[in-house]
Structure 1
Amino acid sequence: MNEIKNVQIPNDKELAVSLGSFKSKEIQVNGITLHFVEGGQGEPLVLLPGWPETWWSYHKIMPELAKHFFVISLDIRGMGISSKPEAGYRKKEMASDVAEMVRKLNLGKIHIAGHDIGAGIAYSFAALYPELTASLIIMDTPPVDESIYKLPMLPVPGMFYPWWLAFNQVSELPEKILEGRISFVLDAIFDGLSIKHDAVNAFDRSVYAKSYNTASGIRASNGWYKAFAADIEDNKQFKKIEVPVLGIGGSGYQMIKDTLPTLTTHLKLCEIEKCGHFLQSEKPNELIDIIKTFLVEIKK
C-alpha cells in the first residue's frame, strides 16, 4: 500500500449506510465513549473485532446476519473513534465496557462473538457475565495463557512467529516510528496472515489505517497487548464457561482445538479450510453458515 496519502476515506456513518439499513452510533460507558454499528432484528449478536482492524472487519457478514439477528459490531476501547484512554485494556475491563453497553441498550442476554483481540474480550465477558450471555463464539484466537511466553523471539522453521506481540509491548517507540506510516504494518499483517491476500483489499486497509495511523491509535491498540500478562492471571481465575461455545479457526484452528476444551463445558469446534487468520474477509460465506447453524442448533 505504501505510506498513507491524502485519500478521502468514508466516515463510519457512510460506511454503515453502505451496508444497507445499518446505523453508526455512540454510547457512554465506564467514563468513555464507545462507537458501534447496529442493524437487523432478532436476538442480539455482538461482534468484537481485533487488531489491526475495526468494526468494519465484519462488513462482509453483517448484512446476511442482520436478516436473522440484531447485529452490533463494536469498536472496542482504543479502536476507531471509540475513546483511547491511558488505561483499562485488561480484557476483563474491556468486557465490563461491553456489559455496560448491553445493560444500557436493554439487550438482555446476547450472543457474543470475538476475533483476535476481540476473542479474549468475548471470553472474559462470558466468564464474568453469564447472566448476560446466551452463547460465545471464539474466532481463530484462543484466550491468552502462559503458552504465549514460549513463542519464539526469532523465526523458527515450522513454528508460528508472531513478531508483533513483542513489538506492540514496547512503550512509546512504535508510535514514534509508525505514526503516519502504519500501512506498512497493515500490509505485513494482512499479507502474512492471509491465504487470500486480496481478501482484505486496498479500500479495507485504508479504513483500518485511518484508525491506527495516529500516535494515539497506536498507543491505545498496543495497550491491548501490554495487558496480556494481567490477562493471563485473570483468565486463571475464571470458571469454565457453561453457555454454548463455538470455536472457529482457519490458520489458528489447532490453537482453538487445543485450548477451548479446557475452558468450556458445551463446545462445538469448526475448521475453515484453506483460510488464514482473517476469517470474516477470507471466507465470509462459510463463516456465516457456521454461525447461523450454531445459533439455530442451540435453540433446539
Structure 2
Amino acid sequence: MKCLSLFSSIAMALAVSVSATHAAEVLPSGAAHATGKVSDAALVKSLPGFKNAYTDVDGVRLHYVTGGKGEPLVLLPGWPETWWTFHKIMPALAEHYTVIVIDIRGMGTSSRPTDGYDKKTMAKDIYALVQSLGYDKVAIAGHDIGSAVAYAYAENYPQATDKLVMMEFPHPDESLLTFPLLPTQGPVGDKVGSSRPYLWWFAFNQVNELPEKLLAGRIRVEQDWLFKYFLQDENAIDARDRAVYEQAYNSGEAIRAGNAWYQAFGQDVADNKGYGKLEMPVLVLAGPAYPWMKAVVGKKATKLIALPVPNSGHFVQEEQPDFVSKTMIDFLQNPDTSNR
C-alpha cells in the first residue's frame, strides 16, 4: 500500500501541474466545458419510449431509466460515466426487452452513502430494485465497474439471473494484485496499445480525500485524458456526452463516491474467493481488456462466450454500439455457449 500511495502522489503531482489553459487545449474540437446543467429528464426526452424513475432500497435512493417491452434486461454503467453511456444501444435493445438502466450506488443522481461500495452490497441494491419492480429473474449486463456489480449479482442471486453480459472489466480477483507500479514498456503513451494498459488511476483512486481536493471543479481534465487514452475514435464520446459525465463527477462528493468503488476492491477480492461457478450463460465483450477478461471470467463461467469487439477501445457500447447491441440480442435470444 505504501508504494501505491507513493505512486498516487507522483501521478497527481503531475496532474496538478496541468494549467487551465493546457486543459482546454487537450479537449477535442467543439468539446467545450459544460456551462449549464444537463438533467436526466432532458436526456431521456431524446430517447423516445424511455422514462426516469427513482426507488428507495435499504436506505439508498437509486435513479434508473426504463423503456421497451418484453423480458427485463438490466444495464449497469461504470466509471467515469452514468446511465447515459448506454444511450446508443438502449433503443435497439428496447425493441426486444424491457430495458432498465440503473445509476449504481454513488453514481449520477443516485444516493452517495458513506459506505457499501463493495460489489456484493451494490448487487444487493440491484436485487432489491429488481424485486420492487416485480421481477423474479432478469438478464443483467454491465460495463466497467457495472460489469463487476453484474457479476456479483449473478453470484449472489443465481436464481434471479437469467443471463449475464460483462463488458471491459471482470469482478476483482487476485490478478489485480499483480498490476505493476511502473509501466512495463517504458513511458506511458496517450493511447492504449495492444500491450497491457497502464491503469494508474486504480492506485490514485485509493487515496482518501486527495483526489476530491485536486479534481473537484476540474474533473474534465482527468476524464478527457481517459477518453483520449481509451477511445480509438475520440468522437464516439462527443461534446454533449462529455458535458453529462463532467457534471456527474465534478463535485467532491461525486469523486469521493466514485473512488469508493475502487477502494472496495480489497473486499471484492476477498468475496470473490468464496464465489463458486456461474451456471447461467455468460457473454464477455471487450476491447483492450479481452485477454484478461477471458482468462478471469473463464475460470468461473461454465457456459461462456467471449468475443473481442473490433475497432474499439474501452467504451465498447459507445464506440461500436451496433456490434454490441446486435451481439447482445443474439446472445440473449440464442445463447450458444460452447465455452469458446
State the TM-score, normalized to the length of structure 2: 0.86
CA distance in 1, matches of 2:291, 2:215: 32
Question: Which residue does the alignment assign to 1:193?
Answer: 230
Larger Rg: 2
Instruction: Tell me if 1:154 matches 2:191.
Output: no
CA contact (8 A) 1:175 1:218 kept: yes
Instruction: Tell me if 1:171 matches 2:208.
Output: yes
CA contact (8 A) 2:168 2:290 kept: yes
Q: Report how many residues are paired.
A: 300
1:246 aligned to which of 271, 283, 288: 283
CA contact (8 A) 2:34 2:243 kept: no
* Runs (5+) with no aligned partner, structure 1: none
Equivalent residue runs for 1:40-59 within 5 Å: 40-59=68-87
2:130 aligned to which of 88, 96, 102: 102
State the Cα distance separating 1:299 from its structure 2 match.
9.4
State the Cα distance separating 1:48 from its structure 2 match.
0.3
CA distance in 1, matches of 2:101, 2:223: 21
CA distance in 2, matches of 1:195, 1:161: 16
Partner letter of residue 252 of structure 1? A
State the Cα distance separating 1:5 from its structure 2 match.
5.1
State the Cα distance separating 1:110 from its structure 2 match.
0.4
Question: Which residue does the alignment assign to 1:227?
Answer: 264
After TM superposition, what 4+ stretches of structure 1 lie above 3 angstroms from structure 2? 1-6
Instruction: Tell me if 1:19 matches 2:47.
Output: yes
Question: SS where residue 60 of structure 1 aligns?
Answer: coil
- CA deviation string 1:3-27 (max 9, x = no partner): 9856124300111121111101100
2:110 aligned to which of 76, 82, 90: 82
Partner letter of residue 149 of structure 2? I
CA distance in 1, matches of 2:279, 2:169: 19
Percent of aligned pairs with the same amino acid = 45
State the Cα distance separating 1:270 from its structure 2 match.
1.2
Partner letter of residue 183 of structure 1? R
Question: SS where residue 270 of structure 1 aligns?
Answer: strand
Partner letter of residue 162 of structure 1? L
Question: SS where residue 291 of structure 1 aligns?
Answer: helix
CA distance in 2, matches of 1:259, 1:101: 28
State the Cα distance separating 1:160 from its structure 2 match.
2.0
State the Cα distance separating 1:46 from its structure 2 match.
0.3
Question: Which residue does the alignment assign to 1:64?
Answer: 92
Question: Which residue does the alignment assign to 1:292?
Answer: 329
CA distance in 2, matches of 1:154, 1:60: 36
CA distance in 2, matches of 1:199, 1:111: 26
CA distance in 1, matches of 2:330, 2:216: 42
CA contact (8 A) 1:137 1:245 kept: yes
CA distance in 2, matches of 1:282, 1:212: 21
State the TM-score, normalized to the length of structure 1: 0.97
CA distance in 1, matches of 2:213, 2:80: 18
CA contact (8 A) 1:41 1:69 kept: yes
CA contact (8 A) 1:78 1:220 kept: yes
Question: SS where residue 326 of structure 2 aligns?
Answer: helix
- CA deviation string 1:15-47 (max 9, x = no partner): 112111110110000111000000000010000
Bigger mean CA deviation after superposition, 193-202 or 215-224: 193-202
Partner letter of residue 200 of structure 1? I
Question: SS where residue 97 of structure 1 aligns?
Answer: helix
- CA deviation string 1:72-107 (max 9, x = no partner): 111000000000000000000000000000111112
CA distance in 2, matches of 1:129, 1:298: 20
Instruction: Tell me if 1:268 matches 2:268.
Output: no
CA contact (8 A) 2:212 2:252 kept: yes
CA contact (8 A) 1:151 1:160 kept: no
CA contact (8 A) 1:250 1:276 kept: yes
* Runs (5+) with no aligned partner, structure 2: 1-22, 186-194
CA distance in 1, matches of 2:178, 2:158: 31
CA contact (8 A) 2:34 2:247 kept: no
Question: Which residue does the alignment assign to 1:210?
Answer: 247
- CA deviation string 1:241-297 (max 9, x = no partner): 111111111111111111111111111111112210000110000001100100110
Question: SS where residue 235 of structure 1 aligns?
Answer: helix
CA distance in 2, matches of 1:107, 1:76: 18
CA distance in 1, matches of 2:156, 2:129: 15
CA contact (8 A) 1:144 1:232 kept: yes
